[in-house]
């Protein structure tokens, strides 16, 4: 957690440091990311950095928490349908909103997912805890509301369903750039055109499988 000294900085100075840190971690593995590079880009003394953060891990985890906060705000303004409109209608819109967040914030997305999934972050479990624990609890509440509304079977265990949806959603997030040949590093540098229709089709298929299952029909 940053020190109070960091929060005592002006909004502009804090944002300069944050932007430099986001750019560094989004473009490099955790081990390759350099505090020296960050302070150079932010034009602060290295000694000042250690007045703001304990170390590189402290800074990275702060960026993870910040990215989660930005994502929550983004989702909150996405005008999602209510679960009463249909649990899977809501779920599909939620995944679409998450996709839009990722495309609009590729650097934050790299920090949230690429580092702990594909990189060499030595405290991956802590990153997973922060990124997944809140999502699982949120999804558990959604599933429970779906049950209460009669949208889902009351035989479903909300805890297991939530873990399944969040875990599968994470894997779909990894699957999309691979199957569509999207270079996530390029998203940060050039903001290339992305085939949103193809991504939406994958989301549709994913939600349809969740809704209908993979077992054969008895009809």
How confident is the model over 154-178, as pLDDT tens digits?
999 999 999 999 988 888 877 887 8
Which residue from 121, 2, 110 is spatially nearest to 55, judged by alpha carbons?
Answer: 2
Chain-centroid distance of CA 126 in Å reads 14
The confidence score (pLDDT) of residue 115 equals: 64
Residues 6+ apart with CB under 8 A from 32: none
**Cα–Cα distance for residue pair 63/69, rounded to 1 Å:** 10
Residues of the chain with pLDDT under 70: 114-119, 183-192, 216-219
Rounded (5°) CA angle 175-72-157: 65
Task: Please tell me the CATH code under which domain 64-212 is placed.
Answer: 1.10.357.10
Residue 112 has what pLDDT? Answer: 83
Task: State the DSSP string of 40-71.
Answer: HHHT--HHHHHHH-SSHHHHHHHHHHHHHHHH
CA atoms of 116 and 136, how far apart (whole Å): 18
pLDDT for 125 equals 85
Locate the domains of the chain by residue range: 64-212
What is 68-127 written as a DSSP string? HHHHHHHHHTS-PPPGGG-HHHHHHHHHHHHHHHHHH-HHHHIIIIIHHHHS--TTHHHH
């Amino acid at each position: 957690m940053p020190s109070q000294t960091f929060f005592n900085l002006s909004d502009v100075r804090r944002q300069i440091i944050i932007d430099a840190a986001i750019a560094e971690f989004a473009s490099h593995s955790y081990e390759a990311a350099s505090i020296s590079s960050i302070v150079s880009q932010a034009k602060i003394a290295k000694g000042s950095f250690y007045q703001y953060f304990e170390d590189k891990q402290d800074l990275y985890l702060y960026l993870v928490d910040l990215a989660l906060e930005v994502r929550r705000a983004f989702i909150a303004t996405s005008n999602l349908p209510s679960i009463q409109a249909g649990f899977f209608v809501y779920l599909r819109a939620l995944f679409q909103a998450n996709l839009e967040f990722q495309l609009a914030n590729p650097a934050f997305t790299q920090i949230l997912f690429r580092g702990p999934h594909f990189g060499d972050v030595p405290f991956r479990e802590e990153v997973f805890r922060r990124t997944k624990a809140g999502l699982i609890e949120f999804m558990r509440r959604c599933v429970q509301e779906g049950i209460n509304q009669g949208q889902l079977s009351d035989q479903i265990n909300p805890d297991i369903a939530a873990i399944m949806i969040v875990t599968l959603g994470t894997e779909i997030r990894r699957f999309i750039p691979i199957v569509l040949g999207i270079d996530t590093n390029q998203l940060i540098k050039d903001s290339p055109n992305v085939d949103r229709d193809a991504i939406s089709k994958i989301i549709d298929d994913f939600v349809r499988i969740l809704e209908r299952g993979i077992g054969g029909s008895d009809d």
